[in-house]
Structures are given as C-alpha cells and as structure tokens.
C-alpha cells in the first residue's frame, strides 16, 4: 500500500544511510587534514599551477596570443573578468569556441595574468 509503514521505513533508512555516509566522509576528510596539519610546513606538498603553454586536465579553451596557445579554464576566467564572462556567456561567437584569438595582446602579459587568476595563485602581483 503506497504511503504505508514500509515506505516511510525505507525512506528513513535511506536518509540514515546517506547521513552515515556523509559523517564517514567528513570524518575521513578531517583525519587527512589532521595528518597534513601535523606535518611541518616545509614537508607539505605544495599545489602546483599548470603550465598554460601546454594542455592540462582543466584547460577547456585555448587563447591564441601572438600565434602561441594559452590553455586556460573558462570558468576561472569568467570569475575574474567581466569581459570574459560576457564573451563566454553572452551571445558572442566565442561562447562555444574551443580556440579564441586575442589580437593586440602580448603572450607574456596574458600568461602572467593566467598565473595570477588560476589557483593556486601563490605568485601574486609585484606592485613595486
């Protein structure tokens, strides 16, 4: 019979299983965090930034700058640039393009910009 005791018990069991799995995942994450936290800073693995001149797992668009490629992540670019947000999410040809020419830009400047906006952005800007 729909809505009977068996249905509510099954729903409760599924919720309990999901809750238990979530608690186990959180406990695992916390245990890993504690292990890493106990390591001295010099022994912790530092995250590395991709080489934007080469294809990488999260690079989903290629900027062509001075006839050289820059492999970047579209989502990261849209987070930091209202121009790129409009370019990728508006009614522009670039929205679905896999390669986008950026005439008038310097490759070194665009590479440096990608280093700053893509995580881990531990390079920062030199504002001297």
Q: Is 31 part of a structural domain of the chain?
A: yes
Q: Are residues 113 and 66 in the same domain?
A: yes
Q: Are residues 36 and 82 in the same domain?
A: no
Query: Whole-prediction pTM value?
Result: 0.60
Q: Are residues 103 and 68 in the same domain?
A: yes
The tally of domains found in the chain comes to 2
Q: Is 50 part of a structural domain of the chain?
A: no
Q: Are residues 34 and 76 in the same domain?
A: no
Residue 85 burial by Cβ neighbours in a 10 Å radius (0-12, 13-18, 19+): middle
Q: How far apart are CA 81 and CA 114, in angstroms?
A: 11
What is the tens place of the pLDDT at every residue in 39-80? Answer: 666 665 666 778 999 999 999 999 999 999 999 999 999 999
Q: Are residues 70 and 109 in the same domain?
A: yes
pLDDT at residue number 108: 94
Q: Are residues 65 and 30 in the same domain?
A: no
- Name the residue range of residue 37's domain: 5-43
């Amino acid at each position: 019979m729909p809505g009977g005791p068996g249905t509510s018990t099954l729903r409760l069991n599924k919720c309990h299983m999901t809750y238990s799995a979530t608690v186990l995942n959180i406990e695992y994450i916390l245990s890993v965090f504690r292990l890493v936290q106990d390591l001295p800073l010099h022994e912790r693995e530092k995250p590395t930034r991709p080489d934007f001149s080469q294809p990488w797992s999260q690079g989903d668009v290629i900027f062509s700058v001075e006839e050289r490629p820059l492999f970047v992540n579209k989502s990261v670019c849209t987070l930091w640039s209202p121009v790129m947000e409009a370019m990728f999410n508006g009614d522009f040809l670039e929205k679905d393009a896999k390669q986008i020419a950026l005439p008038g830009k310097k490759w070194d400047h665009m590479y440096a910009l990608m280093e700053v906006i893509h995580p881990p952005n531990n390079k920062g800007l030199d504002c001297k």
